[in-house]
Chains A and B, each alone.
Chain A
Amino acid sequence: MNLKDYPRKTYSINQFTQPPCYELEGESFFFVMDDGYDYELSITGKDALTWNKAGESPKKEIFQCLKADDTTYMLRFEISGSDPRAGVTFVIDLEQRLVTMLTCRTGLNPKFPLLVYSHYDFGAIRSDGEALPFARHGFTSDLIGTTVEWHWRSGMWTQHAYYCANYYRIALPQNSLARQSLSSPVNNTPSSDEPAVYIKIKENMYFFVLTEVHSERIDGETNKFRSNNMAFLQNYDRMYHVGRTFGTNMAEGRPIPTNILFGAFGNPVELDPAFLNAPNPYVV
Protein backbone atom coordinates (compact mmCIF):
# COMPACT_ATOMS: atom_id res chain seq x y z
CA MET A 1 0.00 0.00 0.00
CA ASN A 2 1.27 3.45 -0.79
CA LEU A 3 0.69 5.25 2.49
CA LYS A 4 0.49 8.52 0.64
CA ASP A 5 -3.08 7.38 0.12
CA TYR A 6 -3.70 6.58 3.79
CA PRO A 7 -7.29 7.67 4.50
CA ARG A 8 -6.32 10.54 6.76
CA LYS A 9 -8.52 13.44 7.80
CA THR A 10 -8.52 16.72 5.93
CA TYR A 11 -6.19 19.18 7.58
CA SER A 12 -5.82 22.92 7.23
CA ILE A 13 -2.95 24.16 9.38
CA ASN A 14 -3.07 21.42 12.00
CA GLN A 15 -1.60 18.24 10.52
CA PHE A 16 1.86 18.81 12.02
CA THR A 17 0.46 19.62 15.46
CA GLN A 18 2.71 17.91 17.97
CA PRO A 19 0.99 15.40 20.26
CA PRO A 20 -0.85 16.64 23.33
CA CYS A 21 1.12 16.74 26.55
CA TYR A 22 -0.34 15.14 29.68
CA GLU A 23 2.68 15.40 31.94
CA LEU A 24 1.41 18.35 33.99
CA GLU A 25 -1.38 16.20 35.42
CA GLY A 26 -1.25 16.45 39.21
CA GLU A 27 0.66 19.74 39.19
CA SER A 28 -0.57 22.96 40.82
CA PHE A 29 0.69 26.44 40.17
CA PHE A 30 0.32 29.83 41.81
CA PHE A 31 0.94 32.64 39.34
CA VAL A 32 1.89 36.02 40.82
CA MET A 33 0.86 38.45 38.10
CA ASP A 34 1.98 41.99 37.41
CA ASP A 35 -1.58 43.24 36.83
CA GLY A 36 -2.32 42.58 40.50
CA TYR A 37 -4.68 39.61 40.19
CA ASP A 38 -2.93 36.35 40.98
CA TYR A 39 -4.14 32.97 39.70
CA GLU A 40 -4.17 29.41 40.91
CA LEU A 41 -4.08 26.63 38.35
CA SER A 42 -4.40 22.92 39.16
CA ILE A 43 -4.11 20.24 36.49
CA THR A 44 -6.55 17.56 37.61
CA GLY A 45 -6.52 15.25 34.57
CA LYS A 46 -5.13 14.76 31.10
CA ASP A 47 -7.36 17.55 29.83
CA ALA A 48 -9.07 18.82 32.98
CA LEU A 49 -8.04 21.68 35.22
CA THR A 50 -9.37 24.04 37.82
CA TRP A 51 -8.38 27.69 37.94
CA ASN A 52 -9.33 30.78 39.84
CA LYS A 53 -8.27 34.24 40.76
CA ALA A 54 -6.58 34.05 44.14
CA GLY A 55 -9.24 34.16 46.82
CA GLU A 56 -12.06 33.03 44.52
CA SER A 57 -13.58 29.58 44.06
CA PRO A 58 -11.97 27.21 41.54
CA LYS A 59 -13.71 26.71 38.19
CA LYS A 60 -13.35 23.59 36.05
CA GLU A 61 -12.25 23.81 32.41
CA ILE A 62 -11.12 21.50 29.62
CA PHE A 63 -7.64 22.37 28.40
CA GLN A 64 -5.05 21.42 25.81
CA CYS A 65 -1.31 21.62 26.26
CA LEU A 66 1.66 21.53 23.89
CA LYS A 67 5.39 21.81 24.52
CA ALA A 68 7.90 24.01 22.69
CA ASP A 69 10.89 22.63 24.56
CA ASP A 70 11.48 20.35 27.53
CA THR A 71 10.33 22.91 30.11
CA THR A 72 8.09 25.38 28.25
CA TYR A 73 4.37 24.72 27.81
CA MET A 74 1.53 26.42 25.96
CA LEU A 75 -1.70 25.63 27.78
CA ARG A 76 -5.04 26.90 26.52
CA PHE A 77 -8.70 26.71 27.45
CA GLU A 78 -11.91 28.50 26.67
CA ILE A 79 -13.73 29.98 29.68
CA SER A 80 -16.92 27.95 29.79
CA GLY A 81 -20.16 29.88 30.10
CA SER A 82 -18.54 33.12 29.07
CA ASP A 83 -20.83 35.16 26.83
CA PRO A 84 -19.42 36.57 24.70
CA ARG A 85 -16.55 34.16 24.36
CA ALA A 86 -13.31 34.38 26.25
CA GLY A 87 -10.25 32.17 26.21
CA VAL A 88 -7.05 31.98 28.19
CA THR A 89 -3.63 30.86 27.03
CA PHE A 90 -0.73 30.48 29.44
CA VAL A 91 2.91 30.14 28.48
CA ILE A 92 4.29 28.27 31.47
CA ASP A 93 8.07 28.45 31.64
CA LEU A 94 9.31 26.08 34.32
CA GLU A 95 12.97 26.74 33.60
CA GLN A 96 12.73 30.40 34.64
CA ARG A 97 9.54 30.06 36.76
CA LEU A 98 7.81 32.67 34.61
CA VAL A 99 4.38 32.84 33.05
CA THR A 100 2.66 34.83 30.31
CA MET A 101 -1.13 35.04 30.31
CA LEU A 102 -3.01 35.91 27.14
CA THR A 103 -6.74 36.51 27.48
CA CYS A 104 -8.80 36.82 24.29
CA ARG A 105 -12.37 38.05 24.06
CA THR A 106 -14.94 38.66 21.37
CA GLY A 107 -18.05 40.81 21.64
CA LEU A 108 -16.33 44.00 22.67
CA ASN A 109 -16.81 45.91 19.42
CA PRO A 110 -20.45 46.77 18.66
CA LYS A 111 -19.79 47.06 14.93
CA PHE A 112 -17.59 43.99 14.63
CA PRO A 113 -18.63 41.62 17.42
CA LEU A 114 -16.40 38.78 16.19
CA LEU A 115 -13.24 40.87 16.37
CA VAL A 116 -10.85 39.30 18.86
CA TYR A 117 -9.35 41.56 21.51
CA SER A 118 -6.35 40.48 23.54
CA HIS A 119 -4.88 41.30 26.90
CA TYR A 120 -1.41 40.27 28.07
CA ASP A 121 -0.20 39.90 31.62
CA PHE A 122 3.18 38.72 32.84
CA GLY A 123 4.07 37.04 36.07
CA ALA A 124 6.15 34.59 38.03
CA ILE A 125 5.44 31.13 39.42
CA ARG A 126 5.52 30.95 43.19
CA SER A 127 7.61 28.18 44.70
CA ASP A 128 7.78 27.57 48.43
CA GLY A 129 11.06 28.61 49.94
CA GLU A 130 12.30 30.41 46.86
CA ALA A 131 12.29 34.10 45.99
CA LEU A 132 10.11 35.16 43.09
CA PRO A 133 12.08 35.81 39.92
CA PHE A 134 12.52 39.51 39.25
CA ALA A 135 12.69 39.35 35.43
CA ARG A 136 9.65 38.71 33.26
CA HIS A 137 8.78 37.55 29.79
CA GLY A 138 8.16 40.77 27.88
CA PHE A 139 7.35 42.55 24.65
CA THR A 140 10.31 42.69 22.32
CA SER A 141 11.54 43.98 19.00
CA ASP A 142 14.10 41.14 18.76
CA LEU A 143 12.30 39.42 15.91
CA ILE A 144 12.20 42.41 13.57
CA GLY A 145 13.93 41.37 10.37
CA THR A 146 13.02 37.70 10.68
CA THR A 147 11.72 35.95 7.57
CA VAL A 148 10.72 32.34 7.97
CA GLU A 149 8.96 29.63 6.01
CA TRP A 150 6.60 27.48 8.09
CA HIS A 151 5.56 23.97 6.95
CA TRP A 152 2.09 23.18 8.34
CA ARG A 153 1.15 19.96 6.58
CA SER A 154 2.49 17.85 3.75
CA GLY A 155 2.73 20.14 0.72
CA MET A 156 1.55 23.27 2.53
CA TRP A 157 3.77 26.07 3.74
CA THR A 158 3.57 29.81 4.24
CA GLN A 159 6.14 32.57 4.55
CA HIS A 160 6.11 35.08 7.40
CA ALA A 161 7.86 38.45 7.57
CA TYR A 162 8.25 40.03 10.99
CA TYR A 163 9.10 43.47 9.72
CA CYS A 164 8.07 45.73 12.61
CA ALA A 165 7.13 45.37 16.27
CA ASN A 166 3.38 45.83 15.73
CA TYR A 167 2.58 43.99 12.48
CA TYR A 168 3.47 40.96 10.44
CA ARG A 169 2.76 39.98 6.83
CA ILE A 170 2.33 36.62 5.16
CA ALA A 171 2.99 35.23 1.68
CA LEU A 172 1.33 32.14 0.22
CA PRO A 173 3.88 30.71 -2.24
CA GLN A 174 2.67 29.78 -5.71
CA ASN A 175 3.50 26.06 -5.44
CA SER A 176 2.23 25.59 -1.88
CA LEU A 177 -1.18 24.12 -1.08
CA ALA A 178 -1.61 27.24 1.08
CA ARG A 179 -2.73 28.99 -2.10
CA GLN A 180 -5.81 26.81 -2.21
CA SER A 181 -6.57 26.22 1.43
CA LEU A 182 -5.82 29.56 3.04
CA SER A 183 -6.82 32.01 0.34
CA SER A 184 -10.16 33.37 1.36
CA PRO A 185 -13.04 33.02 -1.09
CA VAL A 186 -13.37 36.76 -0.70
CA ASN A 187 -10.31 38.83 -0.09
CA ASN A 188 -10.58 42.52 -0.70
CA THR A 189 -7.80 43.52 1.65
CA PRO A 190 -5.04 45.61 0.11
CA SER A 191 -2.35 43.61 1.88
CA SER A 192 -1.85 40.74 4.31
CA ASP A 193 -0.56 42.98 7.10
CA GLU A 194 -2.22 42.26 10.43
CA PRO A 195 -1.49 43.47 13.96
CA ALA A 196 1.01 41.32 15.83
CA VAL A 197 2.66 41.13 19.21
CA TYR A 198 6.11 39.72 19.91
CA ILE A 199 7.06 38.50 23.37
CA LYS A 200 10.41 37.14 24.40
CA ILE A 201 10.14 33.99 26.50
CA LYS A 202 13.82 33.13 26.64
CA GLU A 203 16.85 33.05 24.40
CA ASN A 204 15.63 31.94 20.95
CA MET A 205 12.07 31.33 22.12
CA TYR A 206 9.31 33.82 21.37
CA PHE A 207 5.56 34.04 21.75
CA PHE A 208 4.30 35.58 18.52
CA VAL A 209 0.61 36.48 18.38
CA LEU A 210 -1.28 37.88 15.43
CA THR A 211 -4.90 38.91 15.16
CA GLU A 212 -6.79 38.99 11.90
CA VAL A 213 -8.36 42.41 12.30
CA HIS A 214 -8.21 44.04 8.87
CA SER A 215 -9.69 41.04 7.09
CA GLU A 216 -12.64 41.16 9.51
CA ARG A 217 -13.16 44.88 9.12
CA ILE A 218 -12.94 44.81 5.32
CA ASP A 219 -14.34 41.42 4.27
CA GLY A 220 -16.59 40.88 7.27
CA GLU A 221 -19.54 38.59 6.65
CA THR A 222 -18.49 37.82 3.09
CA ASN A 223 -15.49 35.84 4.36
CA LYS A 224 -15.64 32.27 5.66
CA PHE A 225 -12.70 33.02 7.95
CA ARG A 226 -13.58 35.66 10.49
CA SER A 227 -11.40 37.42 13.02
CA ASN A 228 -8.87 34.99 14.43
CA ASN A 229 -6.18 35.26 17.04
CA MET A 230 -3.22 32.95 16.38
CA ALA A 231 -0.63 32.40 19.07
CA PHE A 232 2.69 30.75 18.20
CA LEU A 233 5.25 29.59 20.72
CA GLN A 234 8.32 29.60 18.49
CA ASN A 235 11.54 27.73 19.20
CA TYR A 236 14.28 29.20 16.98
CA ASP A 237 16.91 26.74 18.20
CA ARG A 238 14.95 23.91 16.64
CA MET A 239 13.01 26.05 14.14
CA TYR A 240 9.55 24.82 15.02
CA HIS A 241 6.53 26.16 16.79
CA VAL A 242 3.40 25.01 18.56
CA GLY A 243 0.30 27.16 18.64
CA ARG A 244 -3.39 27.64 18.87
CA THR A 245 -6.19 29.72 17.34
CA PHE A 246 -9.04 31.58 18.99
CA GLY A 247 -11.43 32.74 16.33
CA THR A 248 -14.53 32.12 14.29
CA ASN A 249 -15.33 30.39 11.02
CA MET A 250 -18.61 30.62 9.15
CA ALA A 251 -20.49 27.40 8.40
CA GLU A 252 -23.89 27.49 6.69
CA GLY A 253 -24.16 31.16 7.51
CA ARG A 254 -23.53 30.71 11.21
CA PRO A 255 -20.44 31.69 13.20
CA ILE A 256 -18.65 28.66 14.62
CA PRO A 257 -16.10 29.25 17.38
CA THR A 258 -12.71 27.76 16.52
CA ASN A 259 -9.98 26.61 18.85
CA ILE A 260 -7.45 24.80 16.68
CA LEU A 261 -4.11 23.54 17.88
CA PHE A 262 -1.38 23.75 15.29
CA GLY A 263 2.30 23.25 14.77
CA ALA A 264 4.83 23.81 12.02
CA PHE A 265 8.46 23.27 11.12
CA GLY A 266 10.52 26.17 9.81
CA ASN A 267 13.41 27.06 7.61
CA PRO A 268 15.02 30.31 6.53
CA VAL A 269 13.65 31.97 3.41
CA GLU A 270 14.59 34.94 1.28
CA LEU A 271 11.58 37.00 0.39
CA ASP A 272 11.04 39.31 -2.55
CA PRO A 273 12.21 42.81 -1.51
CA ALA A 274 9.10 44.24 -3.15
CA PHE A 275 6.97 42.19 -0.72
CA LEU A 276 9.18 42.93 2.24
CA ASN A 277 9.45 46.64 1.66
CA ALA A 278 5.93 47.42 0.52
CA PRO A 279 4.29 50.08 2.68
CA ASN A 280 1.74 48.96 5.23
CA PRO A 281 -1.51 50.44 3.89
CA TYR A 282 -3.15 50.36 7.32
CA VAL A 283 -0.89 52.90 8.99
CA VAL A 284 -0.29 56.55 8.20
Chain B
Amino acid sequence: MNHSNYGVKYGVDQYRFAHNYDLKDSSLIIKDADKEYSLAFAGKEKLSFDFGEGARDYKYECLKIEADTYFLRFGENVAVIELSEGRATLVLSEGYVFGVIGRGAPEATHGFTDEMTGTGVRWVLGCDKFTDHVYNRSDLCRASWSPREKDFVEYPAKYVKIKAGIYLVDIEGHAGSRLYMPEGHERIITLQDYEHMLMAGCVYMKSGVKTIGAYGEFPDFDRELFA
Protein backbone atom coordinates (compact mmCIF):
# COMPACT_ATOMS: atom_id res chain seq x y z
CA MET B 1 0.00 0.00 0.00
CA ASN B 2 1.34 3.42 -0.87
CA HIS B 3 1.38 5.32 2.42
CA SER B 4 2.37 8.59 0.75
CA ASN B 5 -0.45 11.05 0.90
CA TYR B 6 -1.12 14.75 0.64
CA GLY B 7 -1.53 15.26 4.35
CA VAL B 8 -5.26 14.69 4.17
CA LYS B 9 -5.55 14.36 7.93
CA TYR B 10 -4.33 17.91 8.36
CA GLY B 11 -4.60 21.16 6.50
CA VAL B 12 -2.24 24.07 6.57
CA ASP B 13 -0.70 22.65 9.75
CA GLN B 14 0.46 19.39 8.13
CA TYR B 15 4.20 19.91 8.66
CA ARG B 16 3.80 21.34 12.16
CA PHE B 17 6.44 19.76 14.40
CA ALA B 18 5.51 17.65 17.38
CA HIS B 19 4.58 19.71 20.42
CA ASN B 20 7.52 20.34 22.70
CA TYR B 21 7.28 19.95 26.47
CA ASP B 22 10.73 21.14 27.54
CA LEU B 23 9.17 24.01 29.48
CA LYS B 24 6.62 21.93 31.40
CA ASP B 25 6.47 22.67 35.12
CA SER B 26 8.88 25.61 34.83
CA SER B 27 8.33 29.30 35.51
CA LEU B 28 9.72 32.35 33.74
CA ILE B 29 9.77 35.99 34.74
CA ILE B 30 10.02 38.33 31.77
CA LYS B 31 10.85 41.94 32.48
CA ASP B 32 10.94 45.00 30.29
CA ALA B 33 11.66 48.58 31.35
CA ASP B 34 8.18 49.06 32.80
CA LYS B 35 6.71 45.81 33.87
CA GLU B 36 7.13 42.20 34.90
CA TYR B 37 5.35 39.34 33.22
CA SER B 38 5.29 35.78 34.51
CA LEU B 39 4.65 32.52 32.72
CA ALA B 40 4.11 29.45 34.88
CA PHE B 41 3.81 26.18 32.99
CA ALA B 42 1.63 23.56 34.70
CA GLY B 43 2.35 20.38 32.78
CA LYS B 44 2.21 19.92 29.03
CA GLU B 45 -0.89 21.93 28.18
CA LYS B 46 -1.69 24.63 30.71
CA LEU B 47 0.04 27.77 31.81
CA SER B 48 -0.71 30.77 33.92
CA PHE B 49 0.17 34.23 32.57
CA ASP B 50 0.38 37.21 34.87
CA PHE B 51 1.22 40.73 33.76
CA GLY B 52 0.52 42.43 37.03
CA GLU B 53 -3.23 42.43 36.77
CA GLY B 54 -3.91 38.96 38.11
CA ALA B 55 -2.92 35.62 36.67
CA ARG B 56 -4.98 34.12 33.90
CA ASP B 57 -4.91 30.46 32.82
CA TYR B 58 -4.48 29.39 29.21
CA LYS B 59 -4.02 26.22 27.21
CA TYR B 60 -0.69 26.47 25.46
CA GLU B 61 1.17 24.97 22.53
CA CYS B 62 4.94 25.07 22.40
CA LEU B 63 7.00 24.45 19.28
CA LYS B 64 10.76 24.43 19.25
CA ILE B 65 12.65 26.10 16.41
CA GLU B 66 16.19 25.31 17.57
CA ALA B 67 17.99 24.06 20.68
CA ASP B 68 17.09 26.94 23.01
CA THR B 69 14.39 28.88 21.18
CA TYR B 70 10.67 28.24 21.58
CA PHE B 71 7.54 29.51 19.87
CA LEU B 72 4.75 29.58 22.40
CA ARG B 73 1.09 30.22 21.71
CA PHE B 74 -1.37 30.74 24.54
CA GLY B 75 -4.79 31.99 23.59
CA GLU B 76 -4.23 34.61 20.92
CA ASN B 77 -0.92 35.59 22.49
CA VAL B 78 2.51 34.54 21.30
CA ALA B 79 5.81 34.38 23.13
CA VAL B 80 9.25 33.71 21.76
CA ILE B 81 11.38 32.32 24.56
CA GLU B 82 15.12 32.36 23.91
CA LEU B 83 16.94 30.70 26.76
CA SER B 84 20.58 30.82 25.64
CA GLU B 85 20.65 34.64 25.71
CA GLY B 86 17.84 34.99 28.26
CA ARG B 87 15.48 37.10 26.19
CA ALA B 88 11.84 36.96 25.28
CA THR B 89 9.38 38.65 22.96
CA LEU B 90 5.69 38.77 23.82
CA VAL B 91 3.10 39.50 21.17
CA LEU B 92 0.00 40.51 23.12
CA SER B 93 -3.19 42.25 22.10
CA GLU B 94 -1.69 45.40 23.61
CA GLY B 95 1.37 45.16 21.41
CA TYR B 96 4.93 43.93 21.55
CA VAL B 97 7.00 43.44 24.70
CA PHE B 98 10.73 42.91 24.44
CA GLY B 99 12.13 41.70 27.72
CA VAL B 100 14.79 39.77 29.52
CA ILE B 101 14.18 36.51 31.31
CA GLY B 102 14.88 36.71 35.01
CA ARG B 103 14.81 39.57 37.41
CA GLY B 104 17.89 41.40 36.21
CA ALA B 105 17.83 44.84 34.62
CA PRO B 106 16.70 44.90 30.99
CA GLU B 107 19.76 45.05 28.78
CA ALA B 108 19.89 44.28 25.10
CA THR B 109 16.54 42.84 24.07
CA HIS B 110 15.02 41.53 20.89
CA GLY B 111 13.78 44.35 18.69
CA PHE B 112 12.31 45.39 15.37
CA THR B 113 14.72 45.09 12.48
CA ASP B 114 15.12 45.86 8.81
CA GLU B 115 17.69 43.08 8.32
CA MET B 116 15.23 40.89 6.46
CA THR B 117 14.48 43.44 3.75
CA GLY B 118 15.52 41.96 0.43
CA THR B 119 14.70 38.37 1.36
CA GLY B 120 12.36 36.22 -0.70
CA VAL B 121 11.47 32.83 0.74
CA ARG B 122 8.98 30.01 0.24
CA TRP B 123 7.66 28.28 3.35
CA VAL B 124 6.32 24.82 2.54
CA LEU B 125 3.63 24.00 5.10
CA GLY B 126 2.54 20.67 3.67
CA CYS B 127 2.26 18.72 0.43
CA ASP B 128 1.53 21.32 -2.28
CA LYS B 129 0.76 23.89 0.45
CA PHE B 130 3.12 26.82 0.63
CA THR B 131 3.28 30.56 1.06
CA ASP B 132 5.73 32.82 -0.76
CA HIS B 133 7.04 35.84 1.12
CA VAL B 134 8.98 38.74 -0.32
CA TYR B 135 10.17 41.10 2.41
CA ASN B 136 10.34 44.24 0.32
CA ARG B 137 10.29 46.85 3.11
CA SER B 138 10.82 46.95 6.84
CA ASP B 139 7.09 47.55 7.40
CA LEU B 140 5.61 45.66 4.44
CA CYS B 141 5.64 42.20 2.92
CA ARG B 142 4.44 40.83 -0.39
CA ALA B 143 2.88 37.40 0.14
CA SER B 144 1.03 34.81 -1.88
CA TRP B 145 -0.43 31.37 -1.17
CA SER B 146 -0.53 28.24 -3.27
CA PRO B 147 -2.14 27.33 -5.58
CA ARG B 148 -2.28 31.02 -6.62
CA GLU B 149 1.34 31.69 -5.82
CA LYS B 150 1.67 34.32 -8.57
CA ASP B 151 -0.99 36.52 -6.96
CA PHE B 152 1.10 38.55 -4.55
CA VAL B 153 -0.60 41.02 -2.22
CA GLU B 154 1.21 43.60 -0.12
CA TYR B 155 0.51 43.48 3.64
CA PRO B 156 1.63 45.40 6.71
CA ALA B 157 4.40 43.45 8.40
CA LYS B 158 6.61 43.60 11.45
CA TYR B 159 10.05 42.02 11.68
CA VAL B 160 11.81 41.20 14.94
CA LYS B 161 15.35 39.95 15.30
CA ILE B 162 15.57 37.20 17.90
CA LYS B 163 19.22 36.35 17.35
CA ALA B 164 21.59 35.64 14.48
CA GLY B 165 19.61 33.90 11.74
CA ILE B 166 16.37 33.78 13.71
CA TYR B 167 13.56 36.26 13.14
CA LEU B 168 9.92 36.70 14.03
CA VAL B 169 7.70 37.89 11.16
CA ASP B 170 4.17 39.16 11.78
CA ILE B 171 1.98 39.73 8.70
CA GLU B 172 -1.55 41.07 8.96
CA GLY B 173 -4.30 40.97 6.36
CA HIS B 174 -6.78 38.72 4.61
CA ALA B 175 -5.21 36.22 2.26
CA GLY B 176 -8.19 35.89 -0.08
CA SER B 177 -10.08 32.77 -1.02
CA ARG B 178 -9.56 29.54 -2.96
CA LEU B 179 -6.18 29.10 -1.41
CA TYR B 180 -4.56 26.25 0.51
CA MET B 181 -5.17 28.32 3.57
CA PRO B 182 -7.90 28.41 6.18
CA GLU B 183 -10.82 30.62 5.19
CA GLY B 184 -10.92 33.82 7.18
CA HIS B 185 -7.16 34.02 7.60
CA GLU B 186 -6.33 37.36 9.20
CA ARG B 187 -2.76 37.19 10.41
CA ILE B 188 0.27 34.93 10.38
CA ILE B 189 3.12 35.06 12.90
CA THR B 190 6.16 32.95 12.13
CA LEU B 191 9.45 32.26 13.85
CA GLN B 192 11.99 31.64 11.11
CA ASP B 193 15.37 29.93 11.42
CA TYR B 194 17.59 30.78 8.44
CA GLU B 195 20.33 28.39 9.58
CA HIS B 196 18.15 25.31 9.35
CA MET B 197 15.47 26.83 7.09
CA LEU B 198 12.70 25.76 9.42
CA MET B 199 9.73 27.77 10.57
CA ALA B 200 7.21 27.47 13.41
CA GLY B 201 4.30 29.79 13.86
CA CYS B 202 0.57 30.28 13.87
CA VAL B 203 -2.21 31.55 11.67
CA TYR B 204 -5.11 33.55 13.01
CA MET B 205 -8.54 32.85 11.57
CA LYS B 206 -12.02 33.93 12.46
CA SER B 207 -12.49 30.47 13.96
CA GLY B 208 -9.38 30.54 16.11
CA VAL B 209 -5.62 30.15 15.98
CA LYS B 210 -3.74 27.20 14.47
CA THR B 211 -0.06 26.43 14.90
CA ILE B 212 1.99 25.57 11.82
CA GLY B 213 5.44 24.41 10.76
CA ALA B 214 7.34 24.50 7.49
CA TYR B 215 10.61 24.07 5.70
CA GLY B 216 12.07 26.81 3.55
CA GLU B 217 13.19 27.12 -0.07
CA PHE B 218 14.53 30.01 -2.11
CA PRO B 219 12.77 30.18 -5.50
CA ASP B 220 13.87 32.85 -7.96
CA PHE B 221 11.33 35.61 -7.46
CA ASP B 222 10.70 38.38 -9.97
CA ARG B 223 13.00 41.29 -9.04
CA GLU B 224 10.06 43.72 -9.31
CA LEU B 225 8.55 42.11 -6.21
CA PHE B 226 11.38 43.54 -4.13
CA ALA B 227 10.69 47.13 -5.22
Q: How far is the CA of A68 from the CA of B20 in the complex (A)?
A: 11
In chain B, what residue has the closest Cβ to A204? Answer: B3
Q: How far is the CA of A268 from the CA of B210 in the complex (A)?
A: 24
Does B16 make an interface contact (CB < 8 A)? yes
Are the C-beta atoms of A154 and B216 separated by less than 8 Å? Answer: yes
Task: Count A-B pairs with CB separation below 8 Å.
Answer: 121
Main secondary structure of the interface of A (DSSP, over half): loop
Given contacts A19-B65, A154-B217, contact A2 B196 (CB under 8 A): no
Given contacts A15-B196, A16-B215, A151-B124, contact A21 B20 (CB under 8 A): yes
- How many whole Å from B224's CB to the nearest CB in chain A? 15
Are the C-beta atoms of B19 and A236 separated by less than 8 Å? Answer: no
With a cutoff of 8 Å between Cβ atoms, the chain A residues found around residue B16 in the complex are 238
With a cutoff of 8 Å between Cβ atoms, the chain B residues found around residue A69 in the complex are 18
Does A282 make an interface contact (CB < 8 A)? no
Are the C-beta atoms of B20 and A265 separated by less than 8 Å? Answer: no
Most buried by A among B18, B116, B117: B18
Which of B111-152 touch A at CB < 8 Å? 115-121, 124, 126-128
Are the C-beta atoms of B195 and A9 separated by less than 8 Å? Answer: yes
- How many whole Å from B98's CB to the nearest CB in chain A? 21
- How many whole Å from A3's CB to the nearest CB in chain B? 4
Does B109 make an interface contact (CB < 8 A)? no
Which of B190-214 touch A at CB < 8 Å? 194-198
Are the C-beta atoms of B196 and A16 separated by less than 8 Å? Answer: yes
Q: How far is the CA of A155 from the CA of B220 in the complex (A)?
A: 12
Does A239 make an interface contact (CB < 8 A)? yes
- How many whole Å from A204's CB to the nearest CB in chain B? 7
One of A54-62, A84-92, A101-109, A137-145 contacting the partner: A137-145
Does B89 make an interface contact (CB < 8 A)? no
Are the C-beta atoms of B15 and A238 separated by less than 8 Å? Answer: yes
Are the C-beta atoms of B218 and A154 separated by less than 8 Å? Answer: yes
Are the C-beta atoms of B116 and A1 separated by less than 8 Å? Answer: yes
Q: How far is the CA of A216 from the CA of B197 in the complex (A)?
A: 32
Q: How far is the CA of A154 from the CA of B217 in the complex (A)?
A: 5
Q: How far is the CA of A155 from the CA of B219 in the complex (A)?
A: 9
With a cutoff of 8 Å between Cβ atoms, the chain A residues found around residue B194 in the complex are 3, 6, 8
The size bracket of the interface on A is 35 or more
Most buried by B among A68, A145, A239, A268: A239
Main secondary structure of the interface of B (DSSP, over half): loop
Does B183 make an interface contact (CB < 8 A)? no
Are the C-beta atoms of B127 and A239 separated by less than 8 Å? Answer: yes
Does B67 make an interface contact (CB < 8 A)? yes
Are the C-beta atoms of B3 and A236 separated by less than 8 Å? Answer: yes
In chain A, what residue has the closest Cβ to B135? Answer: A3
Are the C-beta atoms of A146 and B3 separated by less than 8 Å? Answer: yes
- How many whole Å from A265's CB to the nearest CB in chain B? 5
Given contacts A9-B195, A268-B5, contact A23 B14 (CB under 8 A): no
Most buried by A among B3, B65, B124: B3
- How many whole Å from A242's CB to the nearest CB in chain B? 9
Give per-residue flags for B160-183: 1 if the beta carbon is below 8 A from chain A beta carbons, else 0: 000001000000000000000000
Which among A8, A18, A151 is the interface contact of B165 at CB below 8 angstroms? A8
Does A17 make an interface contact (CB < 8 A)? yes
In chain B, what residue has the closest Cβ to A67? Answer: B18
Q: How far is the CA of A151 from the CA of B197 in the complex (A)?
A: 12
With a cutoff of 8 Å between Cβ atoms, the chain A residues found around residue B21 in the complex are 23
Which among A16, A146, A239 is the interface contact of B126 at CB below 8 angstroms? A239
Most buried by B among A17, A18, A147: A18
Does B66 make an interface contact (CB < 8 A)? yes
A4-B119, A15-B197 known, 7 other contacts, Cβ within 8 Å: A1-B117, A8-B196, A19-B65, A144-B1, A151-B124, A238-B7, A239-B4
A and B contact pairs by CB, cutoff 8 A, 16 listed: A4-B119, A8-B195, A8-B196, A18-B17, A19-B17, A19-B65, A23-B20, A146-B3, A147-B2, A153-B197, A206-B3, A236-B3, A236-B4, A239-B15, A265-B15, A268-B4
